[in-house]
Structure 1
Amino acid sequence: MTGLERAVADVLARDACSGCGLCTRLDPSLRMALDARGYARPRFDGPSRAAPGAEAVFRRGCPGVVVRAPETPAGAATHPLLGAHVGIWRAWATDAEVRHAGSSGGALTALHAWLVASGRAARVTGAAMDEREPRRSVPVSIVTREQALAAAGSRYAPVAALDNADALRSDSAVCGKPCEISALRQTADDLVDGEPPLLLSFFCAGTPSQLATDSLLAELGVPSGAPVSSLRYRGLGWPGSFRAIAGDRAVSVAYEESWGRALGPTTQWRCKVCPDGVGESADIVSADAWESDEHGYPSFAEGDGSSALIARTPRGRQTILDAQAAGVLSLEPFTMAALAAAQPLQTGRRRLLRARLWGSALAGRRPPRYPGFRLLRLTIASPRLALRVLLGSFRRVRRDRREP
């Protein structure tokens, strides 16, 4: 085996793969495919043909090996749970069609369409519904407003945005999951000829199994193998519904039910031990700015969407302000404290992640390394809760290893 083959095999054996697709850019023999559990994983189609130095690049950037906290830009403020920022707003697309199509206000979709229309980027690489098999999600390159609209809305299923050579072009912008953006940020000097692409991301709760989508469709009366012509997980309102069209039949279920009961519980293990669901390595990050009830629980009542839009870097801030000046985005003042209150999953995961990592390691599953995130100081602030999380993680990993 080559060094890259051994490194990839180690990540897979530890169940630490996030399915980002970085490794496919390092060896033309690698491709992404769904495994038996419904997650995107790399496979060798033949003998490894990795270029010299590929193993070192992989070990530096693969999110199953390491995720490094980025350096804080000069002048940035830092939130202990949500990371650095040089600007934060409540934002939404001024175009009503774009706002309606997006998951939460259409801010990213509006940026995608404006970046290519203005010539700021030759393309935006991201993810969208597979037009040939709408049950699936695929990496895409967006070059028109119509393509940006087609890619609007979350895709709660496996898709590897970096399994797209356009993501390595300096004239692109790249929108991907936080793990994908971290991988690209860490390896851009090796893989991108010129300035790194503009990097956009979103708050990510994790990648569910593709099997969960298929099971939910079956529950709604669309059995396995039945042709589907359209499938959306969110959007067309905020937060929008899971909806599909199969023949002359349209089916749907509310977001709280689709994510909370069917999709979310199947999130892969690597996502459950993620230090960066908030996209700290990106230039621009979008997040749901949920309204909360008196108990702090997010409200999923339908309404006009709005996003929290964070500039992590000066480049990101200037892009956002230029889009506002161009009439593409509406912006209102917002705070990281308000966003933290609206995102209990992200703040809770970060606060107790070190305990979860300890529990996983004690059960025999070595997690990735996460230098620079200062997880220990967060976890020891709540020792009793941390112990409970540690023991729970230990038991779950032990059970999973006994029952593959």
Structure 2
Amino acid sequence: MDKIIQEYCIGCGLCQSLGKAELICNQKGYLSPIKGDEKWLRTVCPAGGKQCASMDFNHIWGRIEAVYYGFSADEVLRRQASSGGSLTEIASYLLESKKVDAILHICASSENPTETEICISTSREELLSRCGSRYAISHPLSSISELDVNKKYAFIGKPCDVTVLKNFQKLNPIIAEMIPITMSFFCAGLPSIDAQKKLLEEMGCNSRVVSLRYRGNGWPGYATANLENGKQCKMDYNTSWGKILGRDIMKMCRFCLDGIGEMADIACCDAWYLTEDNKPNFTEADGRNGIICRSNQGVEIVQEASALGKLVVTEFTDYEEKLKHMQFYQHDRRATMFEKYIAMKICLKPFPKYPMKIRRYQKGVGIRHRLGIFKGIVGRVLKGKI
């Protein structure tokens, strides 16, 4: 098996569902292929880099047609969702306007709230009952072969999931016609099952968990676990994600070139308010998204939803200046990817097949910081941590 594809598998499940590969699950809960059609995998998997031909390397935020601040006009949804509820509201509009018959996405597992399952929502009620971030391992494309070829779907997934889908659609026009709309969100990584266990332990969960929300019911909201014994455990977002879940993520996530959903028609992020020193302010507030339209179709959808009063949007004209502070990690990960690439190559370690054009993202980032990233990667390799 191709070492790059094997080590940087995202575990979407598409290859196994189509009989293109056999996957195994490691101790962290992540999937990776042990055998399969290597040529097909190199074409479809994000680590193969085929999607890079469609990326805009001249702009660190990728392909952009329009950018807005936005949130759902439904105050209940706005509060319930992880941030502003924009993705759920747009998905609801797509159903109500008959642009699609169903939304293919991920929700909490009905058997284990720390796990996920694939769901197909066909109504606003279903979408609202399933909304919210799931910081847990998912395989959203593992049932794509079971979709109804006579229906149209919109897909909501992690940026890497959208990349796989887009790469696959180039090989399969039928799937491209079935799933004409893709939406995503800014993603900082996929936590392991060990991270899930640690989260519950640190929250003080001493009984079986019957429900778990990682965010929502406020912005950013609290990680909230309801236990079988009636107890409720909570933890603030900065601790749950910043100190626990975000510290133990999949290998590909640390070297992901597209945590910003560049391949999707629409990508949403937290448009955090900033402190005086340009740091994200995680004080509870009314949710607000950054809505990035990456295709003309995406622009049309957002504008139509806004015109009907579903979304409240305003132009985000200074996004290039503000986003690098609101979404520092996403900006920094892209801006220093070249240094990571060089460090891994020098250490003779497999690395995703990104083009040398990733060097263009360095603009505006100091050489001292980039050198620090380079040294950090080399150090982790020497210590056997990569």
TM-score normalised over the length of structure 2: 0.90
Residue 41 of structure 1 aligns with an amino acid whose one-letter code is L
Corresponding position of 2:309: 327
- For the residue of structure 2 that corresponds to 1:244, the secondary structure is strand
Corresponding position of 1:102: 81
Corresponding position of 2:352: 368
- For the residue of structure 1 that corresponds to 2:133, the secondary structure is coil
Structure 1 residues 277-356: aligned runs within 5 Å: 277-335=259-317, 336-337=319-320, 338-356=322-340
Q: Which runs of 5+ in 1 are unaligned?
A: 1-5
Residue 389 of structure 1 aligns with an amino acid whose one-letter code is I
Residue 175 of structure 1 aligns with an amino acid whose one-letter code is I
Question: Which residue, 265, 270, 274 being the options, matches 2:256?
Answer: 274
Q: Does residue 132 in structure 1 map to residue 126 in structure 2?
A: no
Residue 340 of structure 1 aligns with an amino acid whose one-letter code is K
How far apart, in 1, do the equivalents of 2:346 and 2:80 lie?
A: 45
Identity of aligned residues (%): 30
How far apart, in 2, do the equivalents of 1:254 and 1:401 lie?
A: 29
Name the CA shift for 1:94/1:70 in 2 (closer, same or farther; >3 Å): farther
Question: Which residue, 11, 24, 30 being the options, matches 2:5?
Answer: 11
Corresponding position of 1:3: none
* 1:292-316 per-position Cα deviation (integer Å, ceiling 9, x unaligned): 1122110001111010101100011
Question: Which residue, 42, 47, 52 being the options, matches 1:69?
Answer: 52
Moved more, 249-258 or 15-24: 15-24
Q: Does residue 222 in structure 1 map to residue 216 in structure 2?
A: no
* 1:146-194 per-position Cα deviation (integer Å, ceiling 9, x unaligned): 2211221111111122123167967110111111111111120323515
Q: Which runs of 5+ in 2 are unaligned?
A: none
Question: Which residue, 201, 212, 226 being the options, matches 1:245?
Answer: 226
Residue 342 of structure 2 aligns with an amino acid whose one-letter code is W
Corresponding position of 2:195: 212
Corresponding position of 1:391: 375
Name the CA shift for 1:138/1:293 in 2 (closer, same or farther; >3 Å): same
Residue 106 of structure 1 aligns with an amino acid whose one-letter code is G
Corresponding position of 1:162: 141
* 1:358-394 per-position Cα deviation (integer Å, ceiling 9, x unaligned): 222333321111238x321333864333222111111
- For the residue of structure 1 that corresponds to 2:63, the secondary structure is strand
Residue 280 of structure 2 aligns with an amino acid whose one-letter code is P
Residue 65 of structure 1 aligns with an amino acid whose one-letter code is G
How far apart, in 1, do the equivalents of 2:361 and 2:159 lie?
A: 21
* 1:105-132 per-position Cα deviation (integer Å, ceiling 9, x unaligned): 0000111222223321111111111011
Q: Does residue 21 in structure 1 map to residue 4 in structure 2?
A: no
Say how many residue pairs are matched. Answer: 378
How far apart, in 2, do the equivalents of 1:70 and 1:114 lie?
A: 31
